[in-house]
Structure 1
Amino acid sequence: MDSLSTANVEFCLDMFKELNNNSVGNNIFFSPLSLLYALSMILLGARGNSAQQVEKVLHFNHIAESLKPEFKGSAKCSQTGRIHSEFGVLFSQLNQPDSNYTLSIANRLYGTKAMSFHQGKSVTVEMMYQTGTFKLASIQEPQMQVLELPYVHKKLSMIILLPADTAALEQVEKQLNVKTFHEWTSSSDMVEREVEVHLPRFKLEIKYELNSLLKSLGMTDVFNQVKANLTGISPDKGLHLSKVIHKSYVDVNEEGTEAAAATGDNLVVKRLPIRAKFMANRPFLFFIRHLDTNTILFCGKLASP
């Protein structure tokens, strides 16, 4: 599972950077896990250079490299079989019978008031407010707050990276990679404390056509009618991937947000007595992840509610 989790995070951040470069100032929202799984189905039927490109873009080469030496020279099915076996284990953990994935933030977000979002822009939004005990980190370079909001049954959580200002946002986006993401969201740096949370209500429904993006990441042959090698799907010549479309939706509001509070039962939790303030009235990045497997289910940027 660790290799699939690593691939998931790396692919997620690659996608975010490409989308961010192509949509400056716009909202971003997508599901890296959904895309990773869908494109892994293409990998099952890809051969030769086409397969190598897909593997590299999805970061499945980590999984290939972790195979025992005696299997590295064997049939491709050893590698793809392991990938899909790990997906099977992951989905079985995500789809537990007691899971409640209404994505409801722990405790309850309640109360609203109009507030200017991102100073200097004439956008006024409804803000949700709650005071509760949450994990919070203050990062000095780049300057930002990192807040973790647990969801129902503590199966999922939303991580919010709230830069201090526009300059800090640009630095966060520039420095964001697997290493810094893990450092910024590390449990050892998150302090459980009382936090006054102000979070905007927002609803995002975004559709992307990802051909150009995936090509820029290096997955080119599968889109080319001449070069594509998908003989694992069909021996017919000319079979290629014509279009990759991804659509995702999220609605963050105070409806149905009751949940158990995060208690940190298995952790030695540090506490600070002074209430902190988390005022998300400017653009921020957010990630919804499955805690047990450390898998990012959704990734987004709220630039304008």
Structure 2
Amino acid sequence: DSLSTANVEFCLDVFKELSSNHAGDNVFFSPLSLLYALSMILLGARGDSAAQMKKVLHFNHIVESSGPEFKDLAKCNRAGRIHSELGALFSQINRPDSNYTLSIANRLYGTKAMAFHEGKSVTVEMMYQTGKFKLALIEEPQMQVLELPYVNNTLGMIILLPVGTADLDQVEKQLNSKAFQEWTSPSNMVQRDVEVHLPRFKLEIKYELSSLLESLGMTGIFSQVRADLSGISPVKGLFVSKVIHKSYVEVNEEGTEAAAATGDVLVLKRLPIRAQFVANHPFLFFIKHFHTNTILFCGKLASP
């Protein structure tokens, strides 16, 4: 639970900074990958450098052992425990029997050219699918929240799509951990017949994140004078020069298999009333591992 909370909080912090720094551009990154990489540095960080990292990574809410004589040991053990738990989390996500294809579950068929959004009209290939999906209708800001499951319902993509008079800026302004949990809560996400129109897209984005992490408060480890990484090496002057992060996603209808299709045969005596989910304008998306409640990837599709 503590890792899940840290994962969501850190994810949204980084997303808001990236979205602000790259206004109008696509955004895509893996918060879990970043947490894991930075936790390795945290193992060797001490003093203010460690305190800043714990705060930015949202690890600081884990209680330390009391008593000054155990202070340094507790900090070291806590960082080690966090790293160990992250390792266990990765083991759960990357099980040998898993068959993840991070693309839309169920068979998607048919394409349709559609202008992505007004003002910046781009013709893209749209995928079309009808089926039973979890869908929430949020009133403020006005949007639809759709959950598309992957293999065996282990993973899924959650899409936040503004509708009506709302735009993506309004969604981003109100996006925080509490709002995200509420928007995607079981009380809001109701399974129903949905007609889904989703663009094919491929994102491969590389970031240099040192300045972003500094703006969040992780300044010490990037300073040759102030960095305390004595847990890695006693050599003075050791510091982090760059944090480079690269991630890739492709969403298409190839190589996907039905997770929601159970093989039941339905006999319909009338046409079902279907909700329309048409992602022909910018949206936010999150790829999540449901069992561990962990966000693996986070992105914004502003232009396919």
TM range (shorter): over 0.9
Q: Provide the rounded CA distance (Å) in 1 between the counterparts of 2:132 and 2:67.
A: 50
1:70 deviates by 6.9
The answer on whether the counterparts of 1:136 and 1:147 sit within 8 Å (CA) in structure 2 is yes
1:296 deviates by 0.2
The residue matched to 1:106 in structure 2 has which SS? coil
Name structure 2 gaps, 5 residues minimum.
263-271
Structure 2 match to 1:219 = 218
Name structure 1 gaps, 5 residues minimum.
264-272
Structure 2 match to 1:8 = 7
Q: Provide the rounded CA distance (Å) in 2 between the counterparts of 1:26 and 1:160.
A: 17
1:169 deviates by 1.4
The answer on whether the counterparts of 1:104 and 1:258 sit within 8 Å (CA) in structure 2 is no
Q: Provide the rounded CA distance (Å) in 2 between the counterparts of 1:46 and 1:81.
A: 11
Structure 2 match to 1:203 = 202
Structure 2 letter corresponding to 1:9: V
Q: Provide the rounded CA distance (Å) in 2 between the counterparts of 1:209 and 1:93.
A: 29
Structure 2 match to 1:128 = 127
Q: Does 1:104 align with 2:98?
A: no
Q: Provide the rounded CA distance (Å) in 1 between the counterparts of 2:134 and 2:67.
A: 45
TM-score, normalization by structure 1: 0.92
Structure 1 letter corresponding to 2:172: E
The answer on whether the counterparts of 1:210 and 1:243 sit within 8 Å (CA) in structure 2 is yes
The residue matched to 1:274 in structure 2 has which SS? coil
Structure 2 letter corresponding to 1:207: K
Q: Provide the rounded CA distance (Å) in 2 between the counterparts of 1:74 and 1:232.
A: 11
1:89 deviates by 2.0
Structure 1 match to 2:153 = 154
Aligned in 2, Cα 1:262/1:219: closer, same or farther, shift over 3 Å? farther
Seq. identity, %: 77
1:104 deviates by 3.3
Write out aligned runs for 1:1-305 (5 A). 2-63=1-62, 65=63, 67=64, 69=66, 73=71, 75=73, 76-164=75-163, 167-261=166-260, 274-305=273-304
Q: Provide the rounded CA distance (Å) in 2 between the counterparts of 1:229 and 1:166.
A: 50
Q: Provide the rounded CA distance (Å) in 2 between the counterparts of 1:94 and 1:103.
A: 13
The residue matched to 1:15 in structure 2 has which SS? helix
1:111-141: CA deviation from partner (whole Å, max 9, x where unpaired): 1010010123221100000001100000000
TM-score, normalization by structure 2: 0.93
Q: Provide the rounded CA distance (Å) in 2 between the counterparts of 1:163 and 1:38.
A: 33
1:265-297: CA deviation from partner (whole Å, max 9, x where unpaired): xxxxxxxx6210000000000000100010000
The answer on whether the counterparts of 1:7 and 1:62 sit within 8 Å (CA) in structure 2 is no
How many residues are treated as equivalent by the alignment? 293
Structure 1 letter corresponding to 2:157: M
Q: Provide the rounded CA distance (Å) in 2 between the counterparts of 1:15 and 1:166.
A: 27
The answer on whether the counterparts of 1:146 and 1:160 sit within 8 Å (CA) in structure 2 is yes
1:174 deviates by 0.4
Structure 2 match to 1:268 = none
The answer on whether the counterparts of 2:65 and 2:71 sit within 8 Å (CA) in structure 1 is no
RMSD of Structure 2 on Structure 1 (CA): 1.6
Aligned in 2, Cα 1:162/1:68: closer, same or farther, shift over 3 Å? same
Structure 1 letter corresponding to 2:48: N
Structure 2 match to 1:267 = none
The residue matched to 2:274 in structure 1 has which SS? strand
The answer on whether the counterparts of 2:142 and 2:166 sit within 8 Å (CA) in structure 1 is no
Structure 2 letter corresponding to 1:115: M
Structure 1 match to 2:269 = none
1:27-81: CA deviation from partner (whole Å, max 9, x where unpaired): 0000000000000011011110001011111011022x3x565797461222112
The answer on whether the counterparts of 1:154 and 1:262 sit within 8 Å (CA) in structure 2 is no
The answer on whether the counterparts of 1:99 and 1:153 sit within 8 Å (CA) in structure 2 is no
The answer on whether the counterparts of 2:142 and 2:165 sit within 8 Å (CA) in structure 1 is no
Q: Provide the rounded CA distance (Å) in 2 between the counterparts of 1:4 and 1:241.
A: 24
Q: Provide the rounded CA distance (Å) in 2 between the counterparts of 1:93 and 1:29.
A: 23
1:92 deviates by 1.8
The residue matched to 1:34 in structure 2 has which SS? helix
The answer on whether the counterparts of 2:159 and 2:284 sit within 8 Å (CA) in structure 1 is yes
1:167 deviates by 4.2
